[in-house]
Chain A
């Protein structure tokens, strides 16, 4: 059996606003659009993904928050309605999700082997978080590939951003071993924004783009700094400054997604593909991808 591999890594923010703006049939509310810079970026990345041969999508999401270890979805199918607890006016999404349980178990076992506290989630009533759903829908609106969701252990809250970085790195290393042993081709997804300070009020029409802008300039400067480093392939440096960035911008990378993904991909030193950047209710959101295959790697934006 050939060694398994990561065929693409995606930074895929999950504001429910982007799904809302798309008006897919699965989502109940109706919108007049909005956040095009992000949505068109997502469309472009989704087209690239269509051309890649892969077996499953593995997502680490900060909206499945676990304090007792790292958990993995462990049942084949989840059919339900997902209502966003923060933006229920925008996101009430009927989903039918297929899970690659074999891959999830392999990742769980590899993480446990590495000394990480783990748990398989086997409760059929469990509701898959909206971070997973938004990122996966925008990357693959056909939902024709199985997924694996990994929870976000709250080590930032319990210890520090530095401890989070260490633990997410260990998880990334373990997940890579499981992927290699599986023989599968896997797409990794870090589901989160960059800077993450929200406005606490909402426009009467949420998609009114005349109201949308970054929360403050400091957030913007940090976001641009990180995107610049991504363009230059300085991912080790990004991970090194991440604790500081999280501290100063409340960055959603605090959930461990980016660190985990970069560790699993061997800390890329090649340029990331940048697909878009836009604020959503004040937060900074970048869509980026890391293509290990030099022949297909592009300069997108």
Chain B
């Protein structure tokens, strides 16, 4: 697929329901909610016609599942935070894109299937993202699962397949990844006023990752994925996959304008709302960029002082 898809913007948002259900209970949760609202407004002002979500709270086993029910309706309740309230939803999915994405996955050797069943349990992270970013179903959406056994190569190809389908249908897309940064929560119930990042180490790593995001270095974050998994991710799954998928889906480079709209604790986990907008200039000044991918100019001399 030679034609590049049009990605309007990329968003990285947290999965927990607090910004949706309890934003008034804690100042930080309120800031995350405000950041979601800002993103919603920016999406409305864009000419995007598809929102594609990759959710770390939708695990799959049989390949990659893609939500294709044109109008899923249900009331969702979170396993842990059920006491914060229910999340009734009615969404508008782009079934055509879902089928096209499945075909693109299969063409790239991945096992994939669409799901379109009444009452299918859409996960907390996707429900929160769709309700806050696309409350009136202004643009149709699609959700792809996170296969529990998949690893780097598979996630990256899954991202490439998402691009194939975008190009084929000529979509203008908002790419949304639903994931925490550090994902260790407190194991006891806390007073909302006492929420904070679980540990200083988690906080330091989160801030380092946010620096990368702010500089638009998405591909670099993807390259650092295994370090991030080892340092600040609870071993629920074998790898920190969202960065691989997001970087692959958005084009495997570092050329974005990054903006961290909020970074706050969600029951101890690192919750951030981040926007990446594809940029024009700037190629070549970041670690994994190459000056020229067609002609060999010699290895970059990283130990020299350069222009100093």
Contacts and interface: CB of A to CB of B under 8 A. Distances in A.
Contacts of B82: 71, 121-123, 126
A83 B121 contact: yes
Contacts of A200: 61-63, 111, 147, 149-150
Contact of B86 (A64, A71, A87, A123): A123
Contacts of A92: 117-119
A123 B236 CA distance: 26
A281 B187 CA distance: 33
Interface in A97-126: 117, 119, 121-123, 125-126
Contacts of A199: 62
A67 B83 contact: no
B212 interface: no
A201 interface: yes
B85 interface: yes
User: Which of A65, A89, A117, A200 neighbours the largest number of chain B CB atoms within 10 Å of its CB?
Assistant: A200
A85 B88 CA distance: 18
Interface stretch (B42-50, B72-80, B281-289): B72-80
A123 B267 CA distance: 20
A294 B261 CA distance: 65
Given A158-B234, A198-B61, A200-B147, A67 B80 contact: yes
A125 B185 contact: no
User: Chain A contact residues: over half helix, strand or loop, or mixed?
Assistant: loop
B79 A83 contact: no
B58 interface: yes
Contacts of B88: 125
Interface string B118-160: 1111010000000000000000000000010110000000000
Interface string B48-91: 00000000001111110000000000011101101101101000
B188 A83 contact: no
Residue picked from B79, B85, B147, B267, most chain A C-beta under 10 Å: B79
Given A92-B117, A123-B83, A125-B75, A69 B187 contact: yes
Contacts of B117: 83, 88, 92
Contacts of A71: 79-80, 82
Interface residues of A, number: 37
Contacts of B184: 158
Contacts of A155: 187
B79 A64 contact: yes
A68 interface: yes
A69 B189 contact: yes
B186 interface: yes
A242 B190 CA distance: 32
B60 A68 contact: no
B235 interface: yes
Contacts of B236: 154, 157
A47 interface: no
Contacts of B59: 85-86
Contacts of B86: 123, 125
Contacts of A83: 117-121
B115 interface: yes
Given A68-B187, A68-B189, A88-B115, A151 B63 contact: no
B83 A201 contact: no
A232 to B, nearest CB: 33
B263 to A, nearest CB: 21
Interface string A48-88: 00000000000000001111110100000000111101111
A127 interface: yes
Contacts of B189: 68-69, 117, 119
B187 to A, nearest CB: 6
B77 A123 contact: yes
Interface in B85-102: 85-86, 88
Contacts of B63: 200-201
Interface in B219-271: 234-236, 267
Nearest to B269: A67
A117 B118 CA distance: 35
Contacts of A117: 187-189
Contacts of B267: 68
B234 to A, nearest CB: 5
Interface of B: 58-63, 75-77, 79-80, 82-83, 85-86, 88, 111, 115, 117-121, 123, 147, 149-150, 184-189, 234-236, 267
13 contacts: A67-B185, A68-B80, A69-B188, A69-B189, A71-B82, A83-B121, A86-B62, A88-B120, A123-B85, A125-B75, A157-B234, A157-B235, A202-B62
Q: Which 8 A-B pairs have the closest CB atoms?
A: A125-B86, A123-B82, A81-B119, A126-B77, A125-B75, A83-B119, A201-B111, A202-B62
Given A67-B187, A198-B62, 11 more contacts: A67-B80, A68-B80, A68-B187, A88-B115, A123-B77, A125-B76, A126-B77, A151-B79, A200-B62, A200-B147, A201-B63
